[in-house]
Structure 1
């Protein structure tokens, strides 16, 4: 049976369907939809149905799928997104005032166009860009604001037969009365859910160098080139459209228009020949992957500018009288979260990943920037302070975007470093009886060492029957953290979790354990928080954060759990506990009790434990905590498995390391003698603040 959908890449199709259905379908439902079962989409919103219909292969009828609707309909907000996104598009003119092409702002300071539009630094020094070169409602030209380019501040380019892109800084205004920040920018991302074959794309352009135009609808994605750098689509473009941004229906930037017909590839990635009538664009994912590799070799000033483009302080366009007022709320582009940054004095670069083939090493043809002395970051002396659940200052410097599929190279993961602190900290010892209960990767001989699964900056072991961690151990470097913007509301619904292929599927949780809760009782609770391992180089930080979305790192926790005191323990330790060099190791796990209540086919832990390990004056310090969700869990489950309304509170206690050994069945060794809890005290009362704990 022929596939219902045009997209041949099944993984990409699943990710795209998850994006356009806005989380309303579970992973298993999306798999059924990909297989041709459309029954589960009857209750989708009309716009979601239309976006699904756009992905259907041309030789399949749409009526049964969308109930007679047509994918030509779009929400009225589409016009607002188009207007905001188009504001960042400018016409490129050379030193003789001749139009050369189109381009788009991709940060507050950087402009992206084709290499064959701006070939080198000397040309860029003579060129300028014009915003608002367009007709208004009265069919008269609008006032133009023109800016010089500033290649001495930043210029990077890749040849026509490679990526055919140039990225250049924008300089001073020449004419007009509008500042550069009034035009906004379009965020770069290589997320793998931005397009699929059959999707509509929209091109904002200056055809023949004329007034700004927009090509709407009847513009379908045909496929991707075999080399992984090109996207093919059927859209009306003319000479002068080179460098135009190609958007999907959510106005995520998916490609940079490059040429009419084929130029950089000869066939599609599934082996089909290229259609005779098509347009070729350079995939933004290929551009992002290449810029990621370039970043660390740049001078400090250039790293900052590039980081701002790849980790933007605000997504999409800036406020303007001709567009919707955005002053009250940061704008959102596509389905991803609004992204905020803080101080950009340090090199910052966080990228999302794509499933596309990795682009090879593409040498930059021009990298000319002034030298800049970057001041060292201020070091704040740590001391006792009032309790705050806000992240440490360091982690506010570089937000990470939404999570992506984990890197598939599991053999490259080193896991927890025993020597991360100035005194060695080993993972908990697993007794032989418990080792027999742990999941073990295929092909390994069962031993305490071999049941340890290593990820980026953390390790864990999984209880096979209970399908959740026995423990996790993570290394946290507070000075090098990259922060994650997580807006209020149903954040969890936007997160995608993944199975670890190293162990059997029935030895780990999956989305079916958390889907379709009405109302939701359980969250997919991180044992290693997303933020904790997200430090180091930008690439490593992103990979580490993505690794926390393995189901092996997950336990069911009531929805109130993550909003409680428990969530701030790592932050408090980094900012208030005088940790040596602000490094800590955190060991966390559930208490796997024999009487834990059952929900669906999972026994839900009543208690969770955590040990924060640090050094002070070269001596280990270990502070142990126990969080109890038992009372709230019992009340919730007693009211019926799908009808809870009062979740109650989660109690957090300080306890002893020895007590946690009894509860967990693990052996913590030297941490017992490093325990900060006085032996004369007992954990008889729940903590109201972390200041009450003995650190």
Structure 2
């Protein structure tokens, strides 16, 4: 027994010397770069959100969509450009593989555009009631959210550049997958502030997928590839959830059942969201230049600003200038 203890102690001493030889330290553990530690609850929340995401089976292909209430499905306009297309689609929930890679049984629902349907081509989104299944050869009413849950619309979140954006999707029309690596929010599309750009991977079939932050709050609706440089795409693009909410607030009250739909979504009575102050994407570069003369006059420029900028600058008798400039930036 003592020989075993001496042998173990000797091995540990040799191990410490080896680690120190490589510059290591057994007494320290460190973060390498940004802190990427997450609670295990992150994975549990991902599984719950995944239940809300469906595969939309179309006559000529497929796409993704997800529940934003117990029976309201959100997807793209280019997936459901009209109520007829929605009426012909199958909505498959739990179209997944199990932990062994085997196909799981899934539930088939059908849209009910007669109850509610809305689409916006410019923002590329559609909302439709999904509350029908087929039993004994005929449609029966059934509410998918009772089993699947749903992702609520949240007008109070904020998004910052380099935030991780996670997408649960049906890429390549395969069973459900998730992108949670190399998935950074880059910026708002400079040509249209309704759209956000990110590095999260997608493939055809992912159209209509939800975009989540690491708190699993809904940030946007994925719809297409983004910017291209020298013929190569460098990001993907989605519609900001703030833009979608604003359009709902503006348009739904004029529609039959529209006020009730806003109530169902939890955004009835909500004022329009100021997108420029809800999103905070920093850009690549910018500058602040300030100068003063010996009379106490100041002058300066601020480039690359977007949104309200406030500040005060003073100069002393020697021409030294000082001050602060604060605001929301986009370069």
TM-score where L is the length of structure 2: 0.67
Q: Which residue of 1 is the match for residue 202 of structure 2? A: 237
Q: Which residue of 2 is the match for residue 287 of structure 1? A: 244
1:353–1:72 Cα change, 3 Å: farther
Q: CA deviation at 1:189?
A: 2.2
Q: Which residue of 2 is the match for residue 88 of structure 1? A: 52
Q: Which residue of 1 is the match for residue 275 of structure 2? A: 356
The alignment partner of 1:163 has SS state of: coil
Tell whether 2:303 aligns with 1:303. Answer: no
Q: CA deviation at 1:74?
A: 1.3
Higher strand share: 2
Q: CA deviation at 1:68?
A: 4.6
Query: Does the Cα contact within 8 Å between 1:115 and 1:165 map onto a contact in 2?
Result: yes
Higher RCO, 1 vs 2 (CA within 8 Å, ≥6 residues apart) = 2
Alignment match of 1:190 (pick from 130, 147, 155): 155
What is the RMSD computed on CA atoms of the aligned residues?
Answer: 2.8
Alignment match of 1:257 (pick from 215, 218, 222): 222
Query: Does the Cα contact within 8 Å between 1:243 and 1:257 map onto a contact in 2?
Result: yes
Q: Which residue of 1 is the match for residue 127 of structure 2? A: 167
Query: Does the Cα contact within 8 Å between 1:149 and 1:171 map onto a contact in 2?
Result: yes
Once residues 234 and 262 of structure 1 are traced to their aligned partners in structure 2, the CA distance between those partners, rounded to angstroms, is 11
Query: Does the Cα contact within 8 Å between 2:173 and 2:205 map onto a contact in 1?
Result: yes
Q: CA deviation at 1:197?
A: 0.6
The alignment partner of 1:241 has SS state of: coil
Once residues 276 and 139 of structure 1 are traced to their aligned partners in structure 2, the CA distance between those partners, rounded to angstroms, is 31
Runs of 4+ with deviation above 4 angstroms: 66-69
Gaps of 5+ in 1: 1-65, 267-274, 312-348, 359-403, 405-500, 502-695
Once residues 75 and 183 of structure 1 are traced to their aligned partners in structure 2, the CA distance between those partners, rounded to angstroms, is 23
Tell whether 2:173 aligns with 1:209. Answer: yes
The alignment partner of 2:181 has SS state of: coil
The alignment partner of 2:160 has SS state of: coil
Q: CA deviation at 1:254?
A: 0.3
Q: How does 1:576-615 map to 2 (within 5 A)?
A: none
Tell whether 2:71 aligns with 1:104. Answer: no
TM-score where L is the length of structure 1: 0.33
Q: CA deviation at 1:235?
A: 1.2
Once residues 100 and 234 of structure 2 are traced to their aligned partners in structure 1, the CA distance between those partners, rounded to angstroms, is 35
1:79–1:156 Cα change, 3 Å: same
Query: Does the Cα contact within 8 Å between 1:285 and 1:354 map onto a contact in 2?
Result: yes
Q: CA deviation at 1:138?
A: 2.6
Alignment match of 2:102 (pick from 126, 132, 140): 140
Query: Does the Cα contact within 8 Å between 1:202 and 1:247 map onto a contact in 2?
Result: yes
Once residues 31 and 38 of structure 2 are traced to their aligned partners in structure 1, the CA distance between those partners, rounded to angstroms, is 16
Q: May I ask how many residue pairs the two structures share in their alignment?
A: 243
Q: CA deviation at 1:229?
A: 0.5
Give CA deviations for 1:254-308 in whole Å, capped at 9, x if unaligned.
0100101249xx9xxxxxxxx9410000000000001000132122x33212321
Once residues 224 and 111 of structure 1 are traced to their aligned partners in structure 2, the CA distance between those partners, rounded to angstroms, is 25
Gaps of 5+ in 2: 1-29, 136-141, 279-309, 311-331
Q: Which residue of 1 is the match for residue 27 of structure 2? A: none
